[in-house]
């Protein structure tokens, strides 16, 4: 036999069960050179030996007619015991009717009495052992040992076989996951976690037992099911979760599921379940939802976002990200005066073209990459301010955005002061914009940071004022140097009385705090006139200019110099 155990001198073990000593000796002599041999003279004795050494025994040679417990009783006894019936049995008999009964009880082959030549018996033993070892290897890789569900490789193969039948039915790809399952292992131990996985597998198998379904545990706490189309997954998942809570001593286990309805059979099984898993993972951490349905639109959107996330480093390195500048004008004079500018990022992607900041900024704010973007803008802006100073002998202060994640960065102050030193700037030339909502989230913590920055000399603008939830009491204690009104108020002020009143209120608050007000989104002369009458100090918007590249912004500097 071409087997690793023979290569290393290891022998399989055969148990011979026969009440006649002469038969035991004959078979023993035939097999002893190739196998380890044990003997039993009745079924009861063999049964006890098998219980103690089932993993060690590779084959049983069984006589049928014996005292105490005959061969039929022995087969009957091991038939329903999974730990024992995995050992193959060759029955030794000369009676054809006995063969039929033996097969029904689980026998695998027969050796006729009187015995054939030793070569024939050795060949039959070798063949049966090899068949069962191959089957055992397949079985061990086919099923997940913990849950009894299919392993991923076999699961996908069975789906391919179902597809090949082409019976015209619709099937759904369903993915389930236990939210924060690692915490179950951490808090209650791995044994408890395994118990939960086994219970969930049993509950899901029971739930889908009345219709076609096959299940798989591809990894950890994910479960895949390919099953008849169903419209009631919300109820199903909720019911399974309630039953799981009843069986388990672990409270508040939360299930989430993703379903790909009527899964496209032209896709590979892996791809179908990637879609369902995508839907499942979209509601990770959302305890208000349990089932998410895959759609191509949401998938394409998320794929697009993943592209942007992966491309940010290349965009910075290749200068695909460009800082534009929008001028801010002081309007409380005979003619508007260029006061400063705001730095605004633009992205010309090599594949997708111009990408709106409204697409990538919220994305990067949600995953923390906004800090990388901010640092790039600060650097480019500081460099540009220095360039203009050297070229025109004129300083244009520029405000840059400081995100929430930046505020609590312990390196914030050293990074900003490092830029001032590197580009020979004054703190007042690099102004910092912080949104009102950031103040509302943690007024005390943010106030401490802002006070330190103001002591250095930085000017702080509160951006989008009026869009957050600041209390009047909090506003009086905030260290700021300017209030910047939310542009929605400006857009509607000449056609909506409420918006006009809100603009007036913001201006009154700014007057009380003795700080200037900046209005953004100003688009026409009527708005300029109204804001000027109400006492607004500074405006920016399309009335003067949209955000423009650095070279175009230089025209505003030249015009300002010509006035003087």
pLDDT tens digits along 452-499: 999 999 999 988 876 655 556 566 777 889 999 888 888 888 888 888
Q: Are residues 91 and 178 in the same domain?
A: no
Q: Which residue has the higher pLDDT, 383 or 31?
A: 383
Give the per-residue pLDDT at 2. Answer: 40
CATH, residue 487: 3.20.20.450
How many CA atoms lie within 13 Å of 325's alpha carbon, on the beta-carbon side?
27
State how many domains the chain has.
3
Contact (CB, 8 A) for 461 and 433: yes
**Domain-terminating residue out of 142, 166, 198:** 142
**Domain-terminating residue out of 142, 177, 201:** 142
Q: Are residues 417 and 556 in the same domain?
A: yes
At 11, list the tokens.
């022998």
Q: Which residue has the higher pLDDT, 436 or 163?
A: 163
Q: Are residues 115 and 166 in the same domain?
A: no
| Domain assignment of residue 302, yes or no | no
The Cα 65–Cα 112 span in angstroms is: 14
Q: Does the pLDDT value for residue 538 go beyond 60?
A: yes
| Domain assignment of residue 79, yes or no | yes
Q: Which helix (H) or strand (E) holds 397?
A: none
SS (HEC) of 250-264: CCCCCEEEEEECCCC
| Domain assignment of residue 422, yes or no | yes
Give the per-residue pLDDT at 138. Answer: 62
| Domain assignment of residue 539, yes or no | yes
Residue 484 belongs to domain spanning: 324-563
Q: With bands split at pLDDT 50, 70 and 90, how would you rate the model's confidence at 11?
A: confident
pLDDT tens digits along 281-337: 999 888 888 999 999 898 888 889 999 999 999 999 999 999 999 999 999 998 999
Q: Are residues 274 and 217 in the same domain?
A: yes
Q: Does the pLDDT value for residue 256 go beyond 90?
A: yes
DSSP per-residue string spanning 295-308: -HHHHHHHHHHHHH
Q: Are residues 344 and 414 in the same domain?
A: yes
Give the per-residue pLDDT at 8. Answer: 36
Q: Does the pLDDT value for residue 4 go beyond 90?
A: no
DSSP per-residue string spanning 312-359: HHHHHHTT-EEEEEEEEEE-SSSS-EEEEEEEEEEEEETTTEEE-HHH
Q: Are residues 113 and 231 in the same domain?
A: no
Q: Are residues 492 and 398 in the same domain?
A: yes
The dihedral of CA 86, 91, 96, 101: what is its sign? Answer: negative
Q: With bands split at pLDDT 50, 70 and 90, how would you rate the model's confidence at 3?
A: very low
Q: Does the pLDDT value for residue 159 go beyond 60?
A: yes
Q: Does the pLDDT value for residue 1 go beyond 70?
A: no
Q: Are residues 121 and 180 in the same domain?
A: no
Q: Are residues 127 and 164 in the same domain?
A: no
Contact (CB, 8 A) for 378 and 419: yes
| Domain assignment of residue 301, yes or no | no
pLDDT tens digits along 500-511: 888 898 899 889
Per cent of the chain over pLDDT 70 is: 94
Q: Are residues 63 and 201 in the same domain?
A: no
At 437, list the tokens.
């909502």
| Domain assignment of residue 278, yes or no | yes
Q: Are residues 71 and 156 in the same domain?
A: no
| Domain assignment of residue 314, yes or no | no
Mean pLDDT for 382-398 is 95
Sequence-ordered list of residues with C-beta below 8 angstroms from that of 239, at least 6 positions apart, any chain: 207
Q: With bands split at pLDDT 50, 70 and 90, how would you rate the model's confidence at 129?
A: confident
The Cα 340–Cα 431 span in angstroms is: 9
**Domain-terminating residue out of 250, 272, 294:** 294
Q: Are residues 470 and 495 in the same domain?
A: yes
| Domain assignment of residue 315, yes or no | no
């Amino acid at each position: 036999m071409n087997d690793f155990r023979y290569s290393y001198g290891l022998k399989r073990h055969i148990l011979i069960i026969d009440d006649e000593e002469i038969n035991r000796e004959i078979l023993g002599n035939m097999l002893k050179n190739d196998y380890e041999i044990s003997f039993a003279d009745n079924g009861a004795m063999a049964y006890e030996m098998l219980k103690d050494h089932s993993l060690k025994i590779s084959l049983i040679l069984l006589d049928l007619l014996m005292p105490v417990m005959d061969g039929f009783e022995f087969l009957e006894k091991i038939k329903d015991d999974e730990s024992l019936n995995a050992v193959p049995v060759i029955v030794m008999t000369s009676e054809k009717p006995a063969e039929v009964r033996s097969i029904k009880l689980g026998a695998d082959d027969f050796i006729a009495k009187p015995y054939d030549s030793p070569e024939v018996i050795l060949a039959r033993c070798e063949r049966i052992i090899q068949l069962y070892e191959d089957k055992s290897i397949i079985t061990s890789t086919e099923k997940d040992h913990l849950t009894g569900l299919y392993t991923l490789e076999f699961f996908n193969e069975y789906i391919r076989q179902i597809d090949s039948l082409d019976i015209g039915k619709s099937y759904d790809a369903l993915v389930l996951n236990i939210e924060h399952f690692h915490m179950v292992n951490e808090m209650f131990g791995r044994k408890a976690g395994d118990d939960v996985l086994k219970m969930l597998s049993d509950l899901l198998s029971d739930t889908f037992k009345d219709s076609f379904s096959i299940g798989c545990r591809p990894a950890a706490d994910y479960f895949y099911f390919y099953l008849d189309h169903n419209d009631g997954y919300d109820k199903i998942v909720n019911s399974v979760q309630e039953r799981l809570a009843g069986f388990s001593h672990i409270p508040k286990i939360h299930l989430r599921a993703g379903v790909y309805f009527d899964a496209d059979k032209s896709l590979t099984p892996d791809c179908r379940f990637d879609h369902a898993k995508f839907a499942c993972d979209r509601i990770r951490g959302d305890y208000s939802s349990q089932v998410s349905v895959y759609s191509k639109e949401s998938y394409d959107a998320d794929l697009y976002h993943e592209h942007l996330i992966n491309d940010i480093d290349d965009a910075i390195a290749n200068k695909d990200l460009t800082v534009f500048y929008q001028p801010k004008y002081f309007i409380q004079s005979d003619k508007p005066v260029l006061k400063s500018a705001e730095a605004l990022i633009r992205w010309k992607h090599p594949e997708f073209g111009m990408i709106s900041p409204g697409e990538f900024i919220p994305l990067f704010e949600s995953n923390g990459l906004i800090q990388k973007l901010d640092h790039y803008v600060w650097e480019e802006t500081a460099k540009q301010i220095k360039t203009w100073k050297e070229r025109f002998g004129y300083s244009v202060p520029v405000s840059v955005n400081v995100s929430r994640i930046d505020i609590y960065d312990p390196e914030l102050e050293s990074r900003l002061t490092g830029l001032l030193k590197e580009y020979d700037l004054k703190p007042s030339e690099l102004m910092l914009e912080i949104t009102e909502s950031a103040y509302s989230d943690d007024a005390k913590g943010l106030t401490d940071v802002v006070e330190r920055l103001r002591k250095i000399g930085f000017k702080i603008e509160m951006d989008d004022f009026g869009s957050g939830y600041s209390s009047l009491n909090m506003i009086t204690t905030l260290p700021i140097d300017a209030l910047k009104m939310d542009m929605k108020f400006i857009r509607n002020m000449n056609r909506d009385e409420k918006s006009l009143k809100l603009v007036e209120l913001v201006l009154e608050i700014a007057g009380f705090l003795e700080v200037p007000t900046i209005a953004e989104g100003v688009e026409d002369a009527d708005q300029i006139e109204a804001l000027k009458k109400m006492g607004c100090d500074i405006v920016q918007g399309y009335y003067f200019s949209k955000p423009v590249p650095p070279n175009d912004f230089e025209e505003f500097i030249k015009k300002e110099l010509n006035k003087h």
